[in-house]
């Protein structure tokens, strides 16, 4: 989605910004791909967030949440702090508090961003409805949301029932997995090489998922770290409580 946006922005002589929330326990190939995307010609600001955000830990009943990039757990970090990141030491967000939920952070960031630049803000989100029922509901249930110019693939976001002048936009919501890889091939797009390794390890293009590894669904794919990036596996294994 970001690469397609770059093509359109270049044609229209526009710039856009990117928000990437680094969840620390990531594949090395994922971070390498993020660094590739930072070089796209039409990106103005790339917000590489490495803040202590609270995330689900479904592998433990004693520690249901874990906090990525937590200074107290620095000795357990899966990776070193990215050099160009927005982190707890240089955080420009006066509203941020350690342990914020991911979902809360993205709404508060959108509010901050809109106040910074003014006007209406479109947040492009590269989700596809065939990946889950919840994602389908985000697009399909028109009577439950306010849209931008009546486009089904847009949703005005709210903070505590207050509507913000910000709209989530899902431009590839109706793409299939075949569409994704067709675009990569026909448009010569860059892609995260970890998907290639997953495919070689027997994971179909329909089952491939990338997220923080300890979520309710993601924990089932923890063994992929062992098969695909063994050096990362041991760090991921010891990062959170597993009892």
Q: pLDDT for 228-238, tens place per residue?
A: 998 888 899 88
184-240: pLDDT as tens digits: 999 999 999 999 999 999 999 998 888 888 888 777 777 788 889 988 888 998 899
Q: Which residues of 29-39 are buried (b: 16+ CB within 10 A; e: fewer)?
A: bbbebbeebee
- Sheet of strand 100-101: strand arrangement: 65-67, 53-56, 100-101
| Strands (DSSP E) found in 78-228 | 86-87, 100-101, 121-124, 154-159, 162-169
- pLDDT score at 215: 84
Can you give the pTM of this predicted structure? 0.92
Provide the 10 A C-beta neighbour count for residue 64. 12
- Rounded to an integer, the average pLDDT of 13-31 is 96
> At 164, is the pLDDT very low, low, confident or very high (cuts 50, 70, 90)?
very high
CA distance 1 to 193: 16
Residue 165 CB-half CA count within 13 A: 10
| Strands (DSSP E) found in the chain | 16-21, 43-50, 53-56, 65-67, 86-87, 100-101, 121-124, 154-159, 162-169
Nearest to 168, CA basis, from 126, 137, 131: 126
- pLDDT score at 192: 96
pLDDT above 90 (res 139): no
73-128: pLDDT as tens digits: 999 999 999 999 999 999 999 999 999 999 999 999 999 999 999 999 999 999 89
Provide the 10 A C-beta neighbour count for residue 119. 6
- Rounded to an integer, the average pLDDT of 125-148 is 81
Give the domain 2-239 fold: Rossmann fold (3.40.50)
- Measured in whole angstroms, the distance separating CA 53 from the mean position of its chain's CA atoms is 13
Is residue 95 within 8 A of residue 108, CB to CB? The reply is yes
């Amino acid at each position: 989605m970001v690469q397609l946006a770059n093509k359109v922005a270049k044609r229209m002589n526009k710039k856009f910004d990117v928000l990437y929330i680094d969840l620390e326990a990531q594949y090395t190939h994922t971070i390498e791909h993020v660094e590739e995307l930072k070089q796209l010609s039409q990106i103005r600001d790339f917000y590489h967030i490495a803040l202590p955000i609270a995330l689900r830990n479904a592998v433990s009943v004693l520690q249901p949440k874990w906090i990525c990039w937590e200074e107290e757990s620095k000795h357990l970090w899966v990776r070193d702090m990215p050099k160009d990141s927005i982190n707890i030491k240089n955080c420009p967000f006066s509203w941020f508090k350690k342990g914020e939920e991911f979902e809360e952070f993205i709404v508060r960031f959108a509010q901050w961003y809109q106040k910074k630049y003014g006007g209406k803000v479109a947040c492009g989100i590269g989700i596809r409805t065939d990946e889950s029922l919840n994602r389908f509901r985000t697009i399909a249930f028109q009577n439950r949301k306010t849209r931008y110019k009546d486009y089904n693939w847009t949703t005005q976001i709210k903070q505590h029932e207050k509507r913000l002048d910000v709209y989530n936009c899902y431009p590839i919501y109706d793409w299939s997995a075949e569409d994704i890889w067709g675009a990569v091939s026909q448009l010569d797009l860059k892609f995260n090489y970890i998907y290639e390794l997953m495919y070689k390890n027997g994971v179909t293009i329909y089952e491939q998922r990338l997220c923080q590894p300890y979520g309710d669904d993601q924990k089932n794919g923890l063994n992929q770290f062992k098969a695909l990036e063994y050096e990362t596996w041991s760090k991921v294994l010891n990062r959170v409580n597993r009892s």
